[in-house]
Structures are given as structure tokens and as C-alpha cells.
Structure 1
Amino acid sequence: MTTLKELLDYGKKALTEGCIENGAHDAWLLMEHVCNIDRSFYYVHPEKTVTDGTAEEYRLLVEKRKRHIPLQQLTGEAWFMGLPFYVNENVLIPRQDTECLVEEVLKRGSKAERILDLCTGSGCILLSILHELRSVRGGSVRGVGADLSAPALEVAEKNRERLGIEAELVQSDLFEMIEGTFDMIVSNPPYIPSGVIDGLMEEVRAHEPAMALDGGEDGYDFYRKIIRRAPAYLRGGGWLCFEIGYDQGKGLEDLLKEEGFQEIQIIQDLAGLDRVAVGQWKS
């Protein structure tokens, strides 16, 4: 029989030797996931034994993590804006940087009645926005999440159901299947230049969906398409809000100006890097 301590020691050693960044931390999280315990339980009961099946499941996940499969894909869960989202290999893993986008949307969307999230993926952006707004205003705000990927929409649907947050999900190539107008359009589109993708960390390059990463030769393909068509779907005074790359602020500012957006802002994240671009459509 194997004890919790022996299992954890194995995980820490294997992931550290496997050059996994924060390997010891990941070993902890995998143990919490497999054994359904927290750290306080471990510190009181480090010599508690686990079944052979549990030990084998843990070792298998450690070996997968050594192959740079993302931790969140192994546990099936990622936390975003204080909510637990289901994730798998068909969607981008929600990241803390993206919370900056949600926060900027909330600042401008206190009275929004209808919100569109393009390239919704796991649904974490839209569902988080709806959760926050409805906690203050009730159920009046409506949301639509659109994505070209059917497998991604299955993940978003699962998150909608598990979190109990009502939203419409549509399979659509950007605006193709979208009807009506909105007070806010938000998007975290693919924005990594095609030539840069091979240099990304293996967890991202090899295990997250390429179609959610590749923004074309210069990284701006989706921004151009969305900005060009957004005015037809925005109500007067509506906002267009993007997550952007750290070096894309000036480019987004120019694109928004060229299309006639006003009140344009480029917002930095906690690291001081460009992270969000917003513009208001006043026509």
C-alpha cells in the first residue's frame, strides 16, 4: 500500500526532474484532484494509505503532466473570475490575464441588456460577465456566445449547465449566424501571429487548439474582420471590447479609429502590459 506522503514525494520528484515549471505545485494539485483531499487533511494524515487504483491514477496523471499536457486538462477544471470552468483540449484554458477584459466590460456594461461574445470557447468570458451583472441586476441581461468550433461549444454548454447561467450559444463564423443588435460585443479572438506559434511553450503549442491561437500573418486577421462588421451589430453608444497581445495596443487603436469608433482606450494588465482595447460606437 502507498501512503499520501509517498505518492506526493513521487509526484514532486518526477515533475521536477521532468523540468515542469512549478512541478511541485502541480504534484500537489494532482493529488488533491485524485485523492479528493486538501492540504490541511494531508498535513494531519500524511501516512494515510491509498488504494492501488488511486495510486495508479495519480502516477498516470503525473506521467501525462511530464509530457506537458496542461494541468487543467488533466483535472478538467480551471478557475476564472472565482468560478470553476470545465475545460478540455478543445478550448483555450482560461487565464488570469483575461480577467482584465471581463473587468473592463463590467465597468462599461452596468446597463447593458444584450451582450455578444465572439470566439467564446469555454464560455468563461460571457458566463462570468452574466454572472456578475445578474448578481447585481437580476436576470434582465441576455448573452449570446458564438464560436465556429462545435467541440468548443459543447464545452461552453457544459459550463452553462454546471454553473446554472442562462445564455444562448450559437455555432457561427464570427457574425455569420448572429441576429439583432447588442449593447456590448466582447471577444478574445485568435491573435498570435502564425510565425510565432511554433515558439510558444509546449503546453500551449501542442495541447491547445490551433484555431483558437492563430491570428494570421500579423496576428490582426480576426480584429480586422470583427471591427469592420461590428458597427452593424452595435446599438448607439455600444462598446466593442477585445483582449489583445502585449504589443498590439497601437495597432488596435489605429484599427478602431479608422472604422469610426470613439472613446478608444488601451488598458494594461497587472504586469503593465497592453491587454485590453475598447472603443465606443456612437453613430
Structure 2
Amino acid sequence: MTRRALLDDAVDQLTAAGVEGPRRSAEWIIEDATGATRAEIYARPDVVVEPAEAALVARYVTRRATGEPVQYVLGHTNFYGLHISLTPDVLIPRPETEEVVERALRHVGEAPWVLDIGTGSGAIALALKHARPAAEVFAVDVSAAALEVASGNAQHLGLEVTFVRADALRPSFADEVPPTFDLIVSNPPYVPEAEKADLQLEVGHEPDTALFVSDSDPLVFYRALAGHASRLLRPGGWVVAETHADHGQAVGALWRAAGLVEVEVHADLSGRDRIAIGRRAD
């Protein structure tokens, strides 16, 4: 089977299954299974694909056709230029989370102490460590399975990050990590449970604990972050967090009420309020 035939067949199957972005998914799958780049697939479409590679593509397409995210099918994604391994135990890092990294980097020097709360795959912590090699980076998560993925990514990338299992909502949290930090960064759970039924099929494959919060208190993690900032940030230190597009301004108001200063809520590239920042007063 040629590259062209393999691609056309994959696109047809994924389109029939109602998968969003069927062509891009098919391209990613064929790139991963054959080692050919997207440009090579189109520049040399008549190259015959090895039977083992074609069989691997078929298995991947079958999984993707069920709605399983392509990042889980392949077992990895690219985040801030880093190859991040993934399993269904961790959230898939999104492009808007790269903007959280960008914002965070604007507020730290060359050797900051950084705390990533709810690290998941370790994407944010590892991106910050990669950008600031002299940083001391600590990353926490409540999930042991997530920390296993994150520590594997750190080892593979050769980046030194200290991982700690801890629950950010427990009153004892601040006693479980070393004080004090120049930056707290987080992409916490922020989707109200009421929205679960309206989300894309692919999202149903991601861990609920990394996504959803109670409808009764959708800002619970941001309230916790404000408390941690008061105890764990050095005076003048910053907290940067991703937010729900509908709750960004509410997070900003909560943080101002909690005593953080220079609070701002920034829009992502789509113009949605998605990144809240604040500083502990000097």
C-alpha cells in the first residue's frame, strides 16, 4: 500500500466515524507509524509502506475512530517544543497552556523557585525547567499514576524536577512542600460537572479528576491557590493559572479579595479570558 492510499483510507474511516479533524489525525498517525514527515507524505505519495507499518496505522485508526484522542493513541504529544509522553492518567496539554508558560516566564528571573500545582504529565514544570535551567522546580499532583508519567517525562528529557504527591485542597498542603517560591503556576481542574455532557467525545477519555469541579464551587482550586500564595510565595512572588473562559474575571476578583495585587486576567489567542496572574504584596 502506498502512502497516498494509506492516507486516503485512514481519512475515509475517520470521517465515517465522525472524528473531528480526520485528515490531521490521519497525518499524525501515519507520521508516527512510518517515520515520514507530513511534507514527505505529500511530496512522495507513491512510496510503498511496509506491511508492519500499515498494520500499525490500521490499529491506530481503529482506536482513533472510537473517539480516543490521537495523543493517547500515539502515547505522546508536543508541548512547548518538548516531547511529552502521555497516558489516560493525565490530561492532554493544550496550546493555551503554552501561553500559561509564556506568562509565567515573564515574571521570573534566571534561577527561580517554582511550584507547579496539579502537574499531570509534568508539561508545565518541564517547560519551565527547560526554559530556566537554573530553576528549582517542584511539581505536585494528587495522582500517583500522573506523577509516574511526569517523572518518566523528566527522566526522558533529562530535566531535574522534584515531584511530590500532595492534595492542593488539603489544609496541610503547605506543610508538604518546601517554602518559599518565586512562582506558583497551575492548570487546575476548572470545568463544572454540569458541562460534562456538552464536551467533545474525546474529552471523555481524559481523567475526570484533572478536569471537573463541583458545580457548587467551580472556583475551589483558585481559592486554594490564593491561600497557598499567601503561605508559600515569597513577598513579590507571582501566581499564574489557567482558568475556565467563563470564570476568568471571577478568579481575578477572588484573588484581589484575597489580598493579591497586580491581578490581571489575560485572553488567550482566541480572545477568551484564560490566564489569571497575581502577585503577593511586598
Counting only pairs closer than 5 Å after superposition, residues 55-134 of structure 1 correspond to structure 2 as 55-111=54-110, 113-134=112-133
Distance 1:209 1:221, change over 3 A: same
Question: Quick check: 1:150 aligned with 2:149?
Answer: no
What percent of counterpart residues are identical? 36
TM-score, normalised to structure 1, is 0.93
Counting only pairs closer than 5 Å after superposition, residues 44-55 of structure 1 correspond to structure 2 as 44-55=43-54
Match for residue 163 of structure 2 among 169, 175, 191: 169
Give the CA deviation at 1:38: 1.5
Number of the residue aligned with 1:250: 249
Number of the residue aligned with 2:233: 234
The whole-number CA distance in structure 2 between the counterparts of 1:112 and 1:189 is 25
Q: Is the 8 A contact 1:194 1:215 kept in 2?
A: yes
Structure 1, gaps ≥5 residues long: none
The letter for the 1-side match of 2:208 is A
Number of the residue aligned with 1:274: 273
Match for residue 212 of structure 1 among 194, 210, 213: 210
Secondary structure at 1:108 match in 2: coil
Structure 2, gaps ≥5 residues long: none
Give the CA deviation at 1:233: 0.7
Q: Which moved more, 1:212-221 or 1:49-58?
A: 49-58
Give the CA deviation at 1:112: 5.1
Q: Is the 8 A contact 2:105 2:128 kept in 1?
A: yes
Q: Is the 8 A contact 1:116 1:185 kept in 2?
A: yes
The whole-number CA distance in structure 2 between the counterparts of 1:39 and 1:238 is 43
Secondary structure at 1:146 match in 2: strand
CA RMSD of aligned residues (A): 1.5
Give the CA deviation at 1:44: 4.9
TM-score, normalised to structure 2, is 0.93
Give the CA deviation at 1:37: 1.1
Number of the residue aligned with 1:159: 153
Distance 1:112 1:45, change over 3 A: closer
The whole-number CA distance in structure 2 between the counterparts of 1:263 and 1:120 is 25
Give the CA deviation at 1:230: 2.5
Q: Is the 8 A contact 1:112 1:184 kept in 2?
A: no
The whole-number CA distance in structure 2 between the counterparts of 1:40 and 1:104 is 32
Secondary structure at 1:154 match in 2: helix
Q: Is the 8 A contact 1:4 1:42 kept in 2?
A: yes
The letter for the 1-side match of 2:212 is D
The whole-number CA distance in structure 2 between the counterparts of 1:213 and 1:162 is 26
Alignment coverage as a number of residue pairs: 276
User: Deviations 1:63-112 (Å, cap 9, x if unpaired)?
Assistant: 11111100111111211112221111111111101111111111111255
Question: Quick check: 1:15 aligned with 2:11?
Answer: no
Q: Is the 8 A contact 1:100 1:275 kept in 2?
A: no
The whole-number CA distance in structure 2 between the counterparts of 1:71 and 1:110 is 36
Secondary structure at 1:50 match in 2: coil
User: Deviations 1:173-214 (Å, cap 9, x if unpaired)?
Assistant: 12252122111111110001111122211101x200000001
Give the CA deviation at 1:48: 3.0
The letter for the 2-side match of 1:211 is T
Number of the residue aligned with 2:201: 202
The whole-number CA distance in structure 1 between the counterparts of 2:49 and 2:110 is 52
The whole-number CA distance in structure 1 between the counterparts of 2:111 and 2:237 is 9
The whole-number CA distance in structure 2 between the counterparts of 1:82 and 1:54 is 26
